[in-house]
Amino acid sequence: MTSASPQRRAAAALVVVGLLLTPLTACGGDDGTTGDTAADLTVLAAASLTDVFKEAGAAYEKEHPGTRVTFSFAGSQELAAQVKQGAPADALVTADTKTMDGLKRDTGTPTVIAKNRLVIATGKGNPEKVGSLEDLADTGLKVVLAAPEVPVGRYSKQILDARKITVKPVSQEPNVRAVLSKVELGEADAGLVYRTDVASAAGRVDAVDIPDGQNAVASYPAATLRNSEHGAAAEAFVKWLSSPEAQEILTGAGFQQP
């Protein structure tokens, strides 16, 4: 029996090599159909997460070499508009479940990663002696609120309406950090923000607590985005936000556990 020609032996060798390499290449990539969790991730996040997510992102990158996390912060309603317009991003974290629920076609299953409560932010030392929600109705007081379509603005309206308090704000801002900034700069005497926002500006503004029975609880759901090019990596990051390490960072910044 004659042996195979050198050409046929070479062709057979190439086939074998191809078969051996196929499973290896199938394990690479991070397009959502593989197990690779290293990627450059873009996360759209509510403005009230600005400070804590910078810390969380650094911790995640240290724990996951090869992954870089870039955040884009804005009001949740602005983030929702970006998602609907197909903005290139991998995950989304909003400051309310209502906004996230309106994006079911665009996201994976959301998970609440933290909660928050409202406080009245005042200038340092509380020069106008604001002591309660009722004080915000004083027409001589410059009050700033978030716009009603913003989660914190919606929560603010909820707690004011519940007590039949009418407030005429000097401005309505696009996100909670804009409200905080107005108070911090002295352009407003008081504003309704999250507890964690005042904590981020410690020493520059003061906080007047709102009793639990008069307050609202803000929930922060996180979800992957269906148009992500790094599905597995995005899923890994969202899952990590519920981990003990991430929860320690969030609670350290004043957020409540889910």
Q: How confident is the model at residue 36 (pLDDT cuts 50, 70, 90)?
A: low
Q: Quickly state the pLDDT bin for 103 (edges 50, 70, 90).
A: very high
Angle at 194 between CA 239 and CA 155, to 5 degrees: 95
Q: Which long-range contacts (CB under 8 A, 24 or more apart) does 199-207 make?
A: 199/253, 199/254, 200/50, 200/51, 200/253, 201/121, 203/124, 204/124, 205/121, 205/122, 205/123, 205/124, 205/180, 206/121, 206/122, 206/123, 206/124, 206/125, 206/126, 207/119, 207/120, 207/121, 207/122
Ranges of each domain in the chain:
40-115+219-252, 116-217
Note the pLDDT of residue 68: 97
Once rounded to an integer, what is the mean pLDDT over residues 250-258? 96
Please give the sequence-ordered ranges of beta strands (E in DSSP) within the chain, or none if there are none: 40-46, 68-74, 91-93, 111-123, 143-146, 171-173, 190-194, 205-209, 217-224
Q: Is the dihedral angle over the CA atoms 69, 73, 76, 77 positive or is it negative?
A: negative
Q: What is the mean pLDDT of residues 154-183?
A: 97
Matching CATH topology for 40-115+219-252 and 116-217?
A: yes
pLDDT at 6 over 60: no
**pLDDT for the residue 30:** 39
Q: Quick one: CATH architecture of 116-217?
A: 3-Layer(aba) Sandwich (3.40)
In one-letter notation, the amino acid at residue 127 is P
Q: Mean pLDDT across the chain, nearest whole number?
A: 89
**pTM confidence score:** 0.83
In Å, the largest CA–CA distance within the chain is: 106
Per-residue pLDDT tens digits for 78-89: 999 999 999 999
| 208 beta partners | 120
Region 120-138 average pLDDT: 97
pLDDT recorded at residue 38: 75
Average pLDDT over every residue of 136-156: 97
Average pLDDT of 19-39? 44
CATH topology (fold) of 40-115+219-252:
D-Maltodextrin-Binding Protein; domain 2 (3.40.190)
